[in-house]
A and B are shown apart, each in its own frame.
Chain A
Amino acid sequence: MEAFLCTEDLCRHFGGVTATDCVCINIEHNGLRSIIGPNGAGKTTFINIVTGRIPASSGKVLFQGCDITNKPTHELVKMGICRTFQITSVFKDLSVFENVRIARQARKGGSLKIFSLKKHLREVTEETWNILERLDLQNLAAEPAKNLAYGDQRVLEVAIAMAGTPTILFLDEPTAGMSPAETRHISDLIQGLAEDISIVLVEHDMDLVMSISDAITVLHYGSIIAEGQPDDIRSNELVREAYLGKEE
């Protein structure tokens, strides 16, 4: 069976440091794949290469059979490959609505209409409201993004990515710095999304990862050391060593 998204011997060096070391990963259509690993394991670097933020040193990324290695980001988005950022990256001075609306417009088209008004893109406006309602942001629609509480900004981050109608969505630590209640909110949201699309989740919150993942990949020093169902990973000796160190 052809994988939905896979990488072949993907490598990335930063000077002498190998941040991603011959990673071969197969991500299936639909479902939730988590990527975990100790700090500095190369999780974010991996996502950055796949989503076109930084070029690969060698190796390939294949999406539905096409080679998408080192393609410009905006082309990847048009293919349905979207992401969120570990450090919140929104359009700070624009309203919450406009943050999502512009993302919807960029995906759907109409950006070259120089004599229309924004409201003339009716479908874009309508779908923006739908996304905001789904994420319970509709009451903050007119608020500039910078005025939002941190947790709401993280949700907005997901909303912007969703506006790109992804078929595969990379979430880079969506719950970083969130309260338990906010984490639950995001986790419900992610589970809902995973019913329709593929999710690749980088996360440090082990309880969250273990409870919602369909499959887990563990990275350590840039390489995959284990892969499997949450239960397999929990009992895996190598993973234990990577996190806790070797028992003497």
Chain B
Amino acid sequence: MDKHLTIPDNDKGITAYKIAAITVLIAGLALFPFVITNRFYISLINEMLIYGLLAMSLDVLLGYTGLLSFMHNAYLGISAYVVGLFLIHISPSSLWLALVAGVIFTSVVALPVGWVQVRTGGLAFALLTLAFGMMFHTIVWKWYGLTGGDDGLMGVPNPAITIFGWKIGDSGDPATMYLFTLVIVALCYLLTRRIIRSPFGAVLEAIRENEERAAFIGINVRMYKLFGWMLACMLAGVAGALFILYKGYIGPTTMSAFAGAGVLMMVLLGGLGTLWGPLVGAAIFIYIQDYISTMTEHWEIYLGMVVVLLVLFLPTGFVGLGSYFKRLGKE
């Protein structure tokens, strides 16, 4: 091959080894509900997948574009409420329409917010995400007539899952819903991975590395920051749609700043700028949360301690474990 057409990156792209690993993982997850029929474990993993998708979408923003959002869960919440309201008030059986409505509405909200936010960077950007997120949280919390306020949105119907008119199953059935979630999350992961490796993704990385220089090589920094933001919010919107379909319920605490910090921890626990790291981070976070909350209702205290330890001893997150063991092996 002509040397002038190759790119000397450390990244080898898709290798046979990676394809095998991803296939085994997805197959294992797909078989899970047939092996372990306990509904509790199925919905636990379902939740890991949904929050994994949310954490991954935050990684697009934080790990690739270099923008910190404290309340990315707000966009999961907005989408979940819209999908829920759509199913309750407009059409109880149109799953795909509801999903699309959720993602579109989330984008419509995220666009002007992003337009304002990308005029800043760094800490100011992060503070604006917090300000907007808290506004959305309060609107949802106080608008009792529409959202059910404190009680949350209840009585969301379970539409049938159909593909091109073929009925696959019912979204009220945990195993079916779990498999549906798995397929959507896997597709989102592969799609995002592709986008991140595209010339577009390269622009986002340049902005993360050096915003000023990016402008001086001809990149419209604000525009691309807005694109990165929109991508992250749309993915969060997909996660929100899955969330309401699987739970059939959403309350305002899902959109709180406290929950937003949890999403950020998932990303950092897993490893920034890797896409799959935050998926793993979300799984670890939710497992720890679930495990500790069976023992004490003050689970946040112990979760906090675990996170402190992980950050101190594993600062690059779970994905840093590999190089950690390599170093141990050498010593």
State which of A72, A111, A113, A126 has its C-beta within 8 Å of the C-beta of B5.
Answer: A126
- Name the residue on A nearest B224 (C-beta): A111
Within 8 A of A (CB), among B145-161: none
**Does B9 contact A164, Cβ atoms closer than 8 Å?**
no
State which of B202, B217, B220 has its C-beta within 8 Å of the C-beta of A164.
Answer: B217
Query: Counting CB contacts under 8 A, is A94 at the interface?
Result: yes
State which of A53, A91, A115 has its C-beta within 8 Å of the C-beta of B198.
Answer: A115
Residue picked from B4, B198, B217, most chain A C-beta under 10 Å:
B217
**Does A102 contact B220, Cβ atoms closer than 8 Å?**
no
Chain B residues in 8 Å Cβ range of A73: 215-216
Query: Counting CB contacts under 8 A, is B3 at the interface?
Result: yes
State which of B195, B197, B198, B217 has its C-beta within 8 Å of the C-beta of A102.
Answer: B217
State which of A53, A110, A122, A142 has its C-beta within 8 Å of the C-beta of B9.
Answer: A142
Query: Counting CB contacts under 8 A, is A203 at the interface?
Result: no
- Name the residue on A nearest B13 (C-beta): A117
Segment from B39-47, B129-137, B204-212, B280-288 that makes contact with A? B204-212
Query: Counting CB contacts under 8 A, is A77 at the interface?
Result: yes
Query: Counting CB contacts under 8 A, is A125 at the interface?
Result: yes
**Does A102 contact B202, Cβ atoms closer than 8 Å?**
yes
**Does A83 contact B216, Cβ atoms closer than 8 Å?**
yes
Interface size on B, residues (CB 8 A): 33
Query: Counting CB contacts under 8 A, is A149 at the interface?
Result: no
Bound complex: CA A70 to CA B220 (Å):
15
**Does A74 contact B218, Cβ atoms closer than 8 Å?**
yes
Show the binding face of A for B, using Cβ within 8 Å. 51, 53, 72-74, 77-78, 82-83, 85, 89-95, 97-98, 101-103, 105-107, 110-122, 125-126, 129-130, 141-142, 160, 163-164
Q: Can you name 19 A-B pairs with beta carbons within 8 Å?
A: A74-B220, A77-B218, A78-B218, A89-B216, A97-B8, A98-B7, A102-B202, A102-B205, A103-B217, A106-B206, A107-B217, A112-B199, A112-B200, A114-B198, A117-B197, A118-B199, A118-B202, A141-B8, A164-B218
